Structure 1
């Protein structure tokens, strides 16, 4: 039988630090889900924003700029097949880039706010904080 007091290994401070780390991880996971969860554009177009789709959109923009892609361009949105002009692809690319950047900026703002709080952060509604900060950034343009 060991004489080690396990209660001394898991201190209240250790528990608090673990809970804080879990809340920050929850925030990062939420940002990733929102970033890659798609966006809706005017006209009811729903655009996939997975990392793969982000890369494909960026490659299409490069192809347009290099003159390698001619219009109309067949594209599959979440809402179905469409033919897009080069300008529409550039508009989609801008909207996706704005969305992705807004998601990272939102995570950063919420994380900074959480960092300033004491305690274990159990009372922080991460989803609400993210949504509120995202909306503020969206209105700011």
Structure 2
């Protein structure tokens, strides 16, 4: 058995710094989960917002703008297939873009709050703070 005293190696400051870093990592993960976890839009449709879906939506908007595709556009929503107009695709793209923007803005706002909070952040509820910042 070793007689090494680990409290001399891993200080309270090291533990607090590790806990803070873990909270910041958890915040980034929460933002990613919310960003890519889907979006409900008016009318009850659920939009898939994975990174692949975001890219496909953006590509479809470009194709519409360039006149490469015309409506109606067959589109698979989380709730199933629908034929969408160009205006509906553009509306979905706008909603997804706004959703992504709000997710990153919420992460930044919470990160600033966490930076200003001393200690290991053990009492900081990142999910509640994120929800409040996203809704603001």
Does TM-score exceed 0.5, indicating one fold?
yes
- CA shift for structure 1 position 3: 6.9
Aligned to 1:62: 62
* Structure 2 unaligned spans of 5+: none
1:1-141 residue pairs with structure 2 within 5 A?
Answer: 4-136=4-136
Instruction: Tell me the secondary structure at the aligned position of residue 83 of structure 1.
Output: strand
**TM-score relative to the length of structure 1:** 0.93
CA distance in 1, matches of 2:4, 2:50: 49
CA distance in 2, matches of 1:76, 1:4: 60
Question: What is the Cα-based RMSD across aligned positions, in Å?
Answer: 1.2
CA distance in 2, matches of 1:37, 1:29: 12
How many residues align? The count is 136
* Structure 1 unaligned spans of 5+: 137-141
**TM-score relative to the length of structure 2:** 0.96
Instruction: Tell me the secondary structure at the aligned position of residue 44 of structure 1.
Output: coil
CA distance in 1, matches of 2:49, 2:66: 23
CA distance in 2, matches of 1:24, 1:39: 24
4+ residue runs over 2 A deviation:
1-6
- CA shift for structure 1 position 53: 0.2
